[in-house]
Structure 1
Amino acid sequence: MSNLKPVKMLLRRNNFTRTNSTTRTLLRRFSSDSSLVDSPLPSQSPEEEPKSKKPNWVVANELLSQLQTNEEDWNHQQLQRLVSSIKPSSRLVQVIRRLGNIAKALKFLELVQKTDPSLSNSISSQAYHTIFNIASCESNSLDKLSEVLSKSKAQNVSLSVDSACLLIRRFGRFGRIHESIRAFNDVAAGIKDTHLCNTLLDVLLRGDRIKDARELFDEMCESNSNFPPNDSTGSIVFSALLKRDFPGRVLSGGEVIELVSKLGEHHVFPNSMQLTKLITKLCRNGYTNQAWEVLHGLMRVNCPVEAASCNTLLAGLGRDLDLKRMNLLLAEMKEMEIKPNVVTFGILIHHLCKMHRVDEALQVLERMTVVGDKEGFSVEPDLITFNTIVFGLCKMGRQEEGLAMLERMKSQPGCAPNTVTYNSLIDGFSKAGELDKSIELFCKMKEEGVSPNEITLNILVDGMCKHGRISSALEFFNAMKKEGLKGNAITYTAFISAFCNVNNINKALELFNEMIGSRCAPDAKVYYALISGLCQARRMDDACSVAEKIKNAGFRLDAVGYNILINGLCKSMKLDKVNELLKEMEGAGVQPDEVTYNTLISTFSKSGHLSGAHQVMKHMTSNGIVPTVVTYGALIHGHCTAGDLDEAMKIFREMGTNSKVLPNTVIYNILIQSHCEKDNVESAISLMDEMQEKGVIPSIITYNTMFNGLRERNWLDKAFQLMDDMTKQACNPDYITMEVLTEWLSAVGETERLRRFLQGEEVACSL
């Protein structure tokens, strides 16, 4: 039995060795530095150590045990002896790590440096990396890291890449970017690598240090760079581009193109999602040209581009109405074997329809399904594609073709017409005045099991109301309510506007109360429609009452609402109430706009209170609102009505000199009529010549006014000239023209010229 003891001892030792080997592997898995393992692992088995020498792990444990005492109790001679006996030297770094205390770690490192300077040189960089790790876990770690960094520099210990990365990230996280840059610069140029540059680049971009980031990025991209960009660089740059509000704030569109191009030259490409998001962002910021350059720049360096990125650019080009480049991009996709999908064609068809180019949209639809042809793509259209085509046809008034497309949809798998399809057709026929056809389609959709929605209801109600079938609309609405379609604010707005327009204010109020009772929340449009109707009916007390209900409901009257009320009160000449409303506007922080001022100026001018009108205009300009042609027109009309033609002409001349507001046909008509009424026909003719020189087109009112004035003077030659001008400008005579000319020309024996005028022939030349 005694002979078995050595064997048992050997087995136990081998088992110990295997166990510690497993522990070593496990600890390495969880350690950032495989050389800094906590356990005192022997470099060789106890049997292999000379009997006269203690194992390294035993010496390391003795050393650690002494170091963990108070620093005042350290036996420096014994510590130096233990340090000298430890092999390999990397085990000293492990001891430092296990101390877990910066002050002791630095003091112990100082002791090592005194004990053996050559040993110190071999472990200093690793030791400081370990101390940086300890410092980063302590409270007020930033100050501790700065202190340790200063000590390492004082001892001329070069930062390792790992240490610099730790410092850069830690300082950067707390916004101390300048210290991150300092740590980067402290690394020897010969050992800087891409990982280190990426770490600083990420910190710089997160800290909005765009200029510094650009300089570092440009250095990385140089042809002879020792740290060229890699996929991690690309991920950092693309993430930053997608998070920032460029262009304009930090990067221009051109700079974005340059960044992407430089990465592409190093075969660093965005993935499909990043590229799609980047192009989307550029297009939404109005930089479609830059988006085009980014995509095509990547195509030139063989970046794998997918349909999703092209689709995003197509949508941006569509918003810019750039059909030429949309077609070019589609052709390039085919050439580069980037297979377009149904979304690609959906975008193209959608924007063609928006541009009213429905025939071209139909051509695209046919090209989608062609197989084996150079122009074909073999992509099956989906329901959205067909609905877009139907919508486009109906908007162009081609409802019958839309109906034919509906039948085609029924034969296409997965494209059965839905509510959107029928709504487009019902709306198209309704706007064309074919209400019976709209109702027929409504019945058909229900028969086919397609449920109408509130949009369907609103289309039919609005169509009936606008075409004078208000009773039918109300009957239809009541029937739909029984089927569960209650209607919304749009429905009631259509009814209220329609009943107000036919002066049935009581019914409009009834529907308004019904709306509130049915818990259908009214919006501002409903209130304004009702207020406008009440103002037209001169029921200003009711209009003001509804305005109060708006406030009680939590709405705040805006300039539009106040203008409706002010206009109604002005027409009713309730100027005291107008003044109250203006004070209320001021108190509510709502500034009067040009409509407000023009309404007041027009009211004062029509009532002959011209000084008040001019006073309002002064107030208007002092508040920074520029008078418009309507403003000047109201003043000119007021002075002409008051018989003060000289003042009217003075204001008219000021328009073109001081205000730079060009007079329109209405103003010329007012002045020409006033001159003719004062038998000042020469001035009227001069004004008409002037308006034609300035490109202001005379209206039938202009010609009728002149014919009346010329008849008083019996100036036939000028009348014949004006008749020819009317023919050239395709200005058709109305009953007033015919009444004046028939009576005048018949009396002077010029009926033949009248006949030729009616036939569109020249009359000024002699017969």
Structure 2
Amino acid sequence: MVVITILDLRRATSASVQSDCSSDDEKLNCAPSQHARKRSRTLCSDSVVQTLHCLKRRPAIAFAYFKDTQSIGFNHDFSTYSEMIQILSHSRQGKMLVSLFSELVSSSNASGPEILPLVDHHRRTCATPCSLSFMVDCLIKACITCYDVQATICLFSGICRLGVVPSVWTWNLLLKFIAETGEYEMVLAAYNEMKCFQLTPDVYTFAIVTRSLFQAKKVDEALQVWAEMTEMGVKPDARGYSSFLIGLCDCRKYDLAYVILQEINREKVPVEAMAYNMVMDGLCKEMRLDEAEKLLENKARQGSNPDVYGYSYLIQSYCKMGNLIKAVDHYEAMVSHGIETNCHIVSYLLQCFRKLGMTSEVIAYFLKFKDSGLHLDKGEMQNAQQVFEEMLKANIEPDIVTYNILASGFCKSGLVMEVFDLLDRMADQGLEPNSLTYGIAIVGFCRGGNLSEAEVLFNVVEEKGIDHIEVMYSSMVCGYLLSGWTDHAYMLFVRVARQGNLVDHFSCSKLINDLCRVGNVQGASNVCKIMLEHNVVPDVISYSKLISIYCQNGDMDKAHLWFHDMVQRGLSIDVIVYTILMNGYCKAGRLQEACQLFVQMTNLGIKPDVIAYTVLLDGHLKETLQQGWEGIAKERRSFLLRANHNKLLSSMKDMQIEPDVPCYTVLIDGKCKAEYLVEARELFDEMLQKGLTPDAYAYTALINGYCSQGEISKAEDLLQEMIDKGIEPDELTFSVLNQSSLRSRKIQFCA
């Protein structure tokens, strides 16, 4: 609920910025096509190139201008693309350059210039080799996004024929792209061509090539590449070693993997746990258990704690060969290391006991694991059945818990007939299935995707009658909800309530949550009312969900009624519930009631958080703007906004609550709307000094403030700062600049 509130505030702030910037250009927005055609006719390639050249120190603004002229119908040609590429390459604006190349190489842009001539032009005119290399990196990244493998390789070869040698990073990008197709011959060809350019492959190059060869089961070729890596003096890191070992294991070369792993251990190079486990698994499959145990010991010496997988492989193998002593030793060692067992290890041990005819041990361990709370129904139903049969043969009568374990496992495994057979067997044993047994079966069927079987069982039992039938009703409601049938769950809830029964509290809460999620506010409200009629009070979360959905629908009267009901019943209301209701009032334009709630909350000793303050700050901003539209003088509007914000900020300070980024965004937007740009910038700088990272919303609020006051250069500088910090501008950011800067100034650089 807190996250929803933050998002709502950010959307509200964005909408405020959007509406403010668009109002100044209303006529332009109403007839864009006519204006655009007129502008496009005044442009020519020379003037566009000249403008771009003037903006070369502001690449983000240059790119915005480039896109803006394109959007009004101007067709960029070789010269304009060359200039734009030159600017973005020199300033190393990777995202923009990739975006530009993606448009060029896409099939939908057939009117654009050809790629290779652009590359050749840049090769002949660029100032530094690193700029050329950066351009090629971005081009290949764009090609990989838009082209298929053959077209990318063709273009790559064309670049190389121009005498341009791509960087190792670019080669790796190409190799990875080719490797994803599974064509290992093409990967090898590209790798060999790379060596012809006298480039030294790095550890990632070798990892890509060897992984591709292992996937094709070309072990000898992979070993040859590994040997070349060693000769070149390239030393793999832990990931490189691990990848190579995993590749060998995938090709079932466990002996070779074991030898290499021993050598790595002698050099004390750390290896990923997955590589260790795969080698151990391979050795255990070949029943080389002594070597597997040594690896487990070496892993511990390397400072890496043993995990459940290594022990699992050993326990399974020793159980298969009937060496129960060794299996139990490893099990106890695993437990002594604090490693929790799982149903698979339990299954191995129980099967081993059974094969050795140790029936009493089978039952003892089964009961021990059951009493420990371990789930014994995860895909091991055959073994569970065998244990069950052993219990019956030993004249040990299974209890209701054991039957419930089996019933749940059968249901989840989709074994429908086995469930009904189990229920019959319970009756034959004189053990009558209770409502919990039927409930477990119903929920299990639904979890396994067998809703129709759950309904059949439910209808049979309901018709027959059973004690504590409300347990089964609760299970069926939950079953419907698990299956996504919220309306069926609601109808069953209502029918059961009319019969004088009520499903359990958990089922009610889940039903309210799902009804709110699908927008059935009336249904959620009815569930709460019926609960109260049965003297069952909904929990705080259910009340919060109901209040929240009424606030989202703008029905503040009903939202407040449920809030008042919470208060009357003495529930512990937290700041989240208050904030939800306050935000609803602010959205509905009822700021005064939101403020009264805030006072009530603080009087009750509930400490407001930064989100609650942000709600009120944003509410005051919107109310003040609305008053301005209704005729209140601009100066008076600014004064009121400043006074209200300062009052809330003073309260935050007294409460020792620090503003976060959304709060600063609302404050900055408010200062800009009140035309206190200096104070807005001070707030922005204060946010940076506190170590907070402004997001696109915060930057856009200040950019809009600068643009609205005609300080275009400051807005452009702020956009460039934003991009330099890796914060991606959104459409609203560029819209603010395009409308308030480029259009209002009528592209003065071209004049």
Q: TM-score, normalised by structure 1?
A: 0.41
Give the structure, 1 or 2, with the largest relative contact order (CA under 8 Å, sep 6 or more): 2
The structure with the larger Rg is 1
Q: TM-score, normalised by structure 2?
A: 0.42
